[in-house]
Amino acid sequence: MGLGPVWRLRTAVEEEAPAPPEASAAAQRESASPIAPDFVPHARAVADTLVSAQVVPAAHVAEAIVPPRHSVASPAASSRNRAGTEDRPRPTTPAGVVAMRDPARSERIATLDWTSLEADMRTCSACVLCERRNQAVPGIGDRHASWMFVGEGPGSEEDQRGEPFVGQAGRLLDNMLAAIGLQRGEDVYIANAVKCRPPHNRTPAPEEISSCRPYLERQIALVQPTVLVALGRPAALALLESEVSIGAARGRSFDYKGIPVVVTYHPAYLLRNPQDKGKAWADLCLARRIVAERKRGAASN
């Protein structure tokens, strides 16, 4: 299916070089496939992207925010903290979505351990997604991971198997992890913004994301990752409580309760738009740099 692991692990962006022209005929056929994940971007393009990611003025965070239909307020300029993380954008989620949350339910979920949390997800009926699910899909991976990836929601395969990212997008995500020296289950935890499959694999609605957010918040609190990677707009909305443009938000980091958030494209989007795989690689390199910096800082304290 053109989903082979063709990303290459590099120790530094400055050392990256274009992929050598030594692929076999089969590999060349894979590269010609519209969904082939050619994750070996041109070195200069990646380096330029990462350099720009490091010098983006904090005041430009507002450019990433998609204004709500009924709001005229513009987000205040943000400041970059010592970890290189920009303040969270001012929430622009429609007021009704925030108001629909049940404070008592959120407080109860915030006290659950892993076993109780996942059991609660599987019996949840807080939104309409429960009506047509086969099963809830809580998350998978290392529960003490440095890296936490947040996707959109389960698809049909995930709904059947009860595990996130198991289809083509999941195989692509595995390749993305391998490119930066990671693998599923080892220092990586994977979850979704919503735990139940939206009908026809549609994008989760804001109110569905809001209903499921207490679960995601508790997962993050239990994992305590070093970095959060938001895969796509629904994941960014869940973490930042703001509608953002991926194109404007990527290449920098935001803040979720003191944890850096890097926003990038969802693997399913990359399967349809392989020309943006180089940008996703740059975002992963940015996240890797953040993890390294924070670990060095922790070791020196």
Enumerate the β-bridge partners of residue 262: 229, 253
Flag whether pLDDT at 2 surpasses 60: no
Average pLDDT score over the chain: 77
Flag whether pLDDT at 65 surpasses 70: no
Flag whether pLDDT at 59 surpasses 50: no
Check if the beta carbon of residue 180 is closer than 8 Å to that of residue 222.
Answer: no
Check if the beta carbon of residue 51 is closer than 8 Å to that of residue 12.
Answer: no
Confidence band of 300 (pLDDT split at 50, 70, 90): confident
pLDDT higher for 90 or 299?
Answer: 299
Does the reported pTM lie above 0.85? no
Angle (nearest 5°) at CA 106 between 100 and 111: 175
Check if the beta carbon of residue 218 is closer than 8 Å to that of residue 112.
Answer: yes
| Overall average pLDDT of the 251-271 stretch | 97
pLDDT higher for 86 or 276?
Answer: 276
Check if the beta carbon of residue 50 is closer than 8 Å to that of residue 227.
Answer: no
CA distance 120 to 190: 18
As a whole-number percent, the residues of the chain with pLDDT over 90 amount to 56
Strand order in the sheet with 139-141: 139-141, 188-192, 147-151, 227-231, 259-264, 253-256
3 state SS of 15: helix
**Each residue's pLDDT tens digit, 181-200:** 999 999 999 999 999 989 88
Check if the beta carbon of residue 127 is closer than 8 Å to that of residue 212.
Answer: yes
**Each residue's pLDDT tens digit, 140-151:** 999 999 999 999
CA distance 56 to 179: 25
CA distance 157 to 101: 29
3 state SS of 227: strand
pLDDT higher for 52 or 171?
Answer: 171
| Overall average pLDDT of the 61-71 stretch | 44
Q: Residue 39: CB partners within 8 Å, gap ≥ 6?
A: 6, 7, 8, 175, 176, 179, 277, 278, 280, 281
pLDDT at residue 189 in the model: 98
| Overall average pLDDT of the 248-266 stretch | 96
Angle (nearest 5°) at CA 65 between 64 and 70: 160
pLDDT at residue 64 in the model: 55
Cβ count within 10 A of residue 287: 22
**Each residue's pLDDT tens digit, 123-169:** 998 898 998 898 999 999 999 999 999 999 998 899 999 999 998 99
Flag whether pLDDT at 23 surpasses 50: no
CA distance 221 to 242: 20
Flag whether pLDDT at 22 surpasses 70: no
| Overall average pLDDT of the 87-99 stretch | 42
Domains of the chain listed by start with CATH number: 79-300 (3.40.470.10)
Spell out the SS3 assignment of 94-158: CHHHHHCCCHHHHHHHCCCCHHHHHHHHHCCCCCHHHHCCCCCCCEEECCCCCEEEEECCCCHHH
pLDDT at residue 273 in the model: 98
pLDDT higher for 268 or 6?
Answer: 268
CA distance 192 to 293: 26
Check if the beta carbon of residue 208 is closer than 8 Å to that of residue 194.
Answer: yes
What secondary structure does DSSP assign to 249-289, as a single string?
HTTSEEEETTEEEEEE--HHHHHH-GGGHHHHHHHHHHHHH
Element (H, E) at 161: helix 156-161
